[in-house]
Amino acid sequence: MVSALKNGPDYRQMLREAGLRVTPQRASIVTILSETDDHPSVEDLYEKTRTLDDTVSVATVYRTMSVLENAGLVRKLVMDDAPARYEMMPQTDHDHLVDVESGDLVEIPGTEISELMGRVASELGYRIVSHHTVIRARKV
């Protein structure tokens, strides 16, 4: 999952295709977010990105996440009481579950939940823009 090239052209291209300017900061942030398998907060992302590129500021991480979210490249996970977390927009849709004991974020594979939501919303005359669902659960 880890690319050999730091800041490889793949990420730059992804940005360019979305019609966004490619800055070194954006490339670094996307690199870090892409190669991480947990769901980092802005603060996490900031710290990790800094090890790769120390010109990045927190403000830029916030701004970048916002831009990427609007471009549909990343998904924001709104938490109940903790700062938001982010993931690259998944190709295989899934939902999330927070382990209330550990705080871990577990991915729920499968697309059933959002399909059902879409169906139910359309019965009310709506089309889903996004659904920010976080399930709090405890190990059995």
Partner DNA sequence: CTTGGTGCAAATGATTTGCAAGCCT
Partner DNA sequence: AGGCTTGCAAATCATTTGCACCAAG
Which positions lie near DNA, rule CB under 7 A? 16, 20-26, 41-43, 55-60, 62-64, 66-67, 81-84
Number of residues lying near its own copies (CB under 8 A): 35
Select from 126, 137, 71 the least CA-distant residue to 100: 137
For Cα atoms 91, 61, 93, give the angle at the middle one, nearest 5 degrees. 15
Rounded CA gap, 25 and 44, in Å? Answer: 15
Q: Under the criterion CB under 8 A, does residue 127 sit at the interface with its own copies?
A: yes
Structure tokens that stand for 101 in this block: 């004991």
Q: Which region among 2-10, 40-48, 52-60, 121-129 touches its own copies (by CB under 8 A)? A: 121-129
DSSP state of 82: S
Q: Name the residues that contact its own copies, by CB under 8 A.
A: 76, 78-80, 95, 97, 99-100, 106, 108, 110, 112-113, 116-117, 120-122, 124-140
